């Protein structure tokens, strides 16, 4: 285990050193952090309803490198992926509505703690989490930056504080009202383990992922514009559904859809068909997470196949956040003999599907899906066989 962590660190050092030597020629003491993306195995749109999710951190990550400079009051941030650099004044950090906000957000929120900054700060980012594909590229960037600042300024933040700062950056600085799943996964991920997160109590149960199963992610290659506005709309619909149920049954113990049962759903059905569909999906999805947890422990493939397809169909027909391309990818995946489970993952409206496939059959699966997806949609899919990985790390080094 220790050896593997060191291997990862060495690998990340090399990526960064190579980039710096090539493009910057920096020398001296630098701080490095990295934070993984995640794939959600099951439990979609349940986090902001205080329910259960089952993500895992993956070996796609954002690496952040920081150093102190002599430029008084200046924060310089650079994305090596985008080949863009911006400079802002420490006293005047504002959202830019660009990629830079994922970096500026945590800096802004931690400003009070790093107030004694003398000179300037330079942060360089490089990552391989596909942007906007439902694999938490934004959370991995926010967590990488929060962890980096923690290391640079010796803030001694607990891991859960890093989660909270990163989520707050996304909610308040970037302006996306996400739940807590992505940042939790990026911080608390554990190699070879799925995480069952209770989004109400923030407790995590790690479940060993079967050695004979593999996680494969298929990118639909599309990102529908509707995504962001529909995400907010679904949150509002869940709130409205909750409000009606609470009013009708006059029960103050019900704090979220997490506390709603089938009988309460019936009340909603009579009043508002759309809200009923949304709430029904959430109530059932929560149960599916718990069923999937037990199934993973027992390596029970049939149950996984069942709950994954139920989850996908619910997202398609009841929560209405899937799209044609994701549906096709799931349909194709289930035509492959060694698929254990397949469903869309993340917020929806494009992005990726998550597939559990028998170990040893991943490449065959990838070929199969690529060819069929091309012939059915005339689109290309990028397929990633991922490793379930540890959460964020930070360290210092001399170069």
Q: Which of 125, 215, 117, 235 is nearest to 171 (CA)?
A: 235
Nearer Cβ to ligand GLA (105/179): 179
**Residue 300: Cβ within 10 Å count:** 16
Q: Output the smallest distance, CB 324 to ligand GLA, in A.
A: 19
Nearer Cβ to ligand GLA (40/355): 40
Residues in 159-178 that interact with ligand GLA by CB under 6 A: 178
Alpha-carbon span 94 to 79, nearest angstrom: 18
Long-range contacts of 221-224 (CB under 8 A, 24+ apart): 221/325, 221/379, 221/380, 221/381, 221/382, 222/323, 222/325, 222/350, 222/379, 223/132, 223/133, 223/349, 223/350, 223/351, 224/323, 224/349, 224/350
H/E stretch holding 59: strand 52-69
Q: Output the smallest distance, CB 70 to ligand GLA, in A.
A: 38
SS3 129: coil
Does 346 bind ligand GLA (CB under 6 A)? Our answer is: yes
Residues in 22-51 that interact with ligand GLA by CB under 6 A: 40, 44-45, 47-48
Does 347 bind ligand GLA (CB under 6 A)? Our answer is: yes
CA 222 to chain centre: 18
Alpha-carbon span 130 to 361, nearest angstrom: 24
Q: Which of 99, 176, 180 is nearest to 145 (CA)?
A: 99
Nearer Cβ to ligand GLA (341/346): 346
Does 101 bind ligand GLA (CB under 6 A)? Our answer is: no
Residues in 294-323 that interact with ligand GLA by CB under 6 A: none
Does 54 bind ligand GLA (CB under 6 A)? Our answer is: no
Does 237 bind ligand GLA (CB under 6 A)? Our answer is: no
Among 182, 219, 259, 390, the one annotated catalytic: 182
Q: Output the smallest distance, CB 90 to ligand GLA, in A.
A: 29
Per the annotation, the verdict on 261 as an active-site residue is: no
Alpha-carbon span 294 to 107, nearest angstrom: 40
Does 330 bind ligand GLA (CB under 6 A)? Our answer is: no
Does 179 bind ligand GLA (CB under 6 A)? Our answer is: yes
Q: Output the smallest distance, CB 55 to ligand GLA, in A.
A: 9
Alpha-carbon span 89 to 379, nearest angstrom: 44
Number of residues that bind ligand GLA (CB under 6 A): 11
Alpha-carbon span 60 to 217, nearest angstrom: 12
Q: Which of 69, 137, 76 is nearest to 107 (CA)?
A: 76
The burial class, CB within 10 Å (0-12 / 13-18 / 19+), for 201 is exposed
Does 343 bind ligand GLA (CB under 6 A)? Our answer is: no
Q: Output the smallest distance, CB 199 to ligand GLA, in A.
A: 9
Nearer Cβ to ligand GLA (134/210): 134
Nearer Cβ to ligand GLA (268/344): 344
Alpha-carbon span 126 to 55, nearest angstrom: 23
Nearest residue to the partner ligand GLA, using Cβ: 178
**Residue labelled with tokens 């210092």:** 396
Q: Output the smallest distance, CB 178 to ligand GLA, in A.
A: 3
Nearer Cβ to ligand GLA (45/126): 45
Nearer Cβ to ligand GLA (189/346): 346
Alpha-carbon span 154 to 149, nearest angstrom: 8
Note the residues at the interface with ligand GLA (CB under 6 A): 40, 44-45, 47-48, 178-179, 181-182, 346-347
Catalytic residues: 182
């Amino acid at each position: 285990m220790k050896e593997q962590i060191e291997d990862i660190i060495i690998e990340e050092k090399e990526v960064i050193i190579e980039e710096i030597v090539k493009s910057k020629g920096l020398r001296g003491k630098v701080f490095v952090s990295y934070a993984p993306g995640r794939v959600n195995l099951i439990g979609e749109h349940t986090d902001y309803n205080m329910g259960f999710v089952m993500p895992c951190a993956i070996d796609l990550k954002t690496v952040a490198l920081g150093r102190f400079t002599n430029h008084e009051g200046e924060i310089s941030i650079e994305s090596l992926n985008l080949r863009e650099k911006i400079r802002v004044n420490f006293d005047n950090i504002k959202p830019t509505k660009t990629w830079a906000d994922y970096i500026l957000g945590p800096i802004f929120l931690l400003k009070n703690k790093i107030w004694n900054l003398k000179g300037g700060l330079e942060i360089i980012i490089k990552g391989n989490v596909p942007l906007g594909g439902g694999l938490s590229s934004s959370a991995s960037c926010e967590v990488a930056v929060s962890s980096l600042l923690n290391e640079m300024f010796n803030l001694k933040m607990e891991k859960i504080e890093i989660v909270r700062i990163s989520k707050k950056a996304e909610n308040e600085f970037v302006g996306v009202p996400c739940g807590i799943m992505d940042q939790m996964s990026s911080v608390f991920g554990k190699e070879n383990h799925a995480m069952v997160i209770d989004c109400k109590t923030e407790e995590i149960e790690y479940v060993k992922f079967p050695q004979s199963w593999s996680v494969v992610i298929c990118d639909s290659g599309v990102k529908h514009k509707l995504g962001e506005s529909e995400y907010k709309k679904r949150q509002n619909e869940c709130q409205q559904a909750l409000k009606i149920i609470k009013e009708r049954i006059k029960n103050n113990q019900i704090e979220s859809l997490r506390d709603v049962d089938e009988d309460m759903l019936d009340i909603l059905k009579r009043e508002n068909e759309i809200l009923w569909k949304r709430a029904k999906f959430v109530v059932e999805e929560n149960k599916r997470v718990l069923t999937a947890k037990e199934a993973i422990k027992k390596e029970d493939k049939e149950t996984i196949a069942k709950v994954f397809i139920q989850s996908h169909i619910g997202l398609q027909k009841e929560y209405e956040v899937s799209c044609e391309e994701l549906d096709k990818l799931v349909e194709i995946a289930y035509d492959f003999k060694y698929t254990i489970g397949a469903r869309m993952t993340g917020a929806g409206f494009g992005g990726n599907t998550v597939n559990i496939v028998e170990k040893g059959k991943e490449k065959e699966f990838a070929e199969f899906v690529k060819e069929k997806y091309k012939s059915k949609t005339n689109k290309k899919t990028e397929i990633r066989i991922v490793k379930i990985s540890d959460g964020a790390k930070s360290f210092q080094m001399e170069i």
